[in-house]
């Protein structure tokens, strides 16, 4: 005789409630670990972009003082690049590419603004400058690269830092 299997004894297809809860807990842990890293990558890009701009500005100031002539760091926000120009110098300007992720906004003296998206900060042989401010922003992160007009000092500030030079601004988004 054949043994008959009852419907109650047959294994049902699908997942148990315990298995579903375990999967949900694992997914929650993975998302909780991944989100801060995704958010912080924007912060890393902003800090990196601000450091790059600050480094170029410090180099421009150093060259002005060392060579005894004006030096300008020109920023072309549409093309996302910076050029270190020394008026009267026959060699081509040193060009650097801005970091591709963040948005940049330039606030500089009106005399240094060449177009709505192009302007510069000029350094003089005594270390002074025309002053200016470059804001580097991405998502909820921002850094401000501030150039003091009197001393030519370059500082990287957190977002929302007060004070600063007045002038015309340009931005790239």
Reported confidence tier of residue 88, pLDDT bands at 50, 70, 90: confident
**Average pLDDT over all residues of the chain:** 85
The proportion of the chain whose per-residue pLDDT surpasses 90, expressed as a percent, equals: 61
Distance CA 148, CA 137 (A): 20
pLDDT score at 91: 76
Distance CA 169, CA 119 (A): 9
pLDDT tens across 26-58, in order? 998 888 887 766 656 888 899 999 999 999 999
Distance CA 66, CA 3 (A): 99
* pLDDT for 84 beyond 60: yes
Structure token pair of residue 64: 């002005």
How many whole angstroms from its chain centre is CA 76?
15
Average pLDDT over residues 166-171: 45
Distance CA 37, CA 51 (A): 21
pLDDT tens across 22-33, in order? 999 999 888 888
Find residue 147's DSSP bridge partners. Answer: 132, 154
Do 158 and 46 form a contact (C-beta atoms < 8 A)?
no
**What superfamily would CATH give domain 17-172?**
minor pseudopilin epsh domain (3.55.40.10)
Lowest mean pLDDT among 4-8, 73-77, 90-94: 4-8
pLDDT score at 165: 37
Q: Is 83 helix (H, G, I), strand (E, B) or coil?
A: strand
Q: Would you say the C-alpha torsion 56, 58, 62, 68 has a positive or negative sign?
A: positive
pLDDT tens across 130-150, in order? 999 999 999 889 999 999 999
């Amino acid at each position: 005789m054949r043994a008959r299997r009852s419907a109650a004894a047959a294994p049902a297809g699908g997942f148990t409630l315990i298995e579903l809860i375990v999967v949900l807990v694992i997914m929650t842990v993975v998302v909780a670990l991944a989100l801060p890293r995704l958010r912080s990558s924007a912060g890393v890009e902003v800090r990196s972009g601000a450091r790059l701009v600050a480094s170029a500005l410090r180099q421009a100031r150093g060259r002005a003082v060392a060579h005894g002539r004006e030096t300008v760091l020109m920023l072309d926000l549409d093309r996302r690049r910076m050029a270190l120009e020394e008026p009267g110098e026959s060699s081509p300007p040193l060009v650097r590419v801005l970091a591709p992720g963040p948005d940049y906004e330039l606030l500089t003296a009106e005399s240094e603004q060449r177009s709505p998206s192009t302007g510069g900060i000029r350094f003089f042989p005594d270390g002074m400058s025309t002053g200016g401010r470059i804001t580097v922003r991405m998502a909820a992160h921002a850094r401000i690269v501030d150039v003091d007009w009197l001393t030519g000092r370059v500082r990287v500030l957190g977002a929302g830092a007060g004070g600063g030079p007045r002038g015309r601004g340009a931005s790239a988004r």
